[in-house]
Structures are given as structure tokens and as C-alpha cells.
Amino acid sequence: MTASSFLWHYATILLAVMCCFLPRSTSSLNLEDPNVCSHWESYSVTVQESYAHPFDQIYYTSCSDILNWFKCTRHR
């Protein structure tokens, strides 16, 4: 999950929870009223992500290949 999608999901859940617990009287607020204030706040959230990547380890073993000086390449 990327940081932006994490923030989007977090904000959506937070908004849903806030709507459930707000008193019903807030729906009658008039935003044009001079006594109603608005406040905007922005913040950053640090998210640590980890990923699994395939890894190919090359090693050499003894074998009967005379053209490669009796060394064969192996992978794990």
C-alpha cells in the first residue's frame, strides 16, 4: 500500500467515524454565519513499507566441464 493510498483510506475512515459521533445539531449550522469559524490543518504521516524481492545467488561448483576449467555455474 502506498503512502498516498494509506492516507486516503485513513482520512475516509476518520471522516466516517467522526460523522457517526457528531451531535445531530451540527447539521443545522449555517456556514455563512459570522460566528462560525473554520480551521484547516495539514500534516504528514511517515509510513514504513517493506518489499520482498527475488534474489538469485550465483555460485560455482566442481564439475566435469573441461572447457570451463572444471567449474560449473549454479543458482539458488
User: CB–CB of 70/63 below 8 Å?
Assistant: yes
22 pLDDT higher than 60: no
The mean pLDDT of 69-76, rounded to a whole number, is 87
What pLDDT does 3 receive?
64
What pLDDT does 2 receive?
65
Better-scored residue on pLDDT, 8 or 33: 33
Better-scored residue on pLDDT, 6 or 59: 59
**69: DSSP letter:** T
> In which band, very low, low, confident or very high, does the pLDDT at 46 lie, cut at 50, 70 and 90?
very high
Distance of alpha carbon 49 from alpha carbon 6, whole angstroms: 11
Beta-bridge partner residues of 60: 73
Distance of alpha carbon 73 from alpha carbon 76, whole angstroms: 10
**What's the pTM?**
0.27
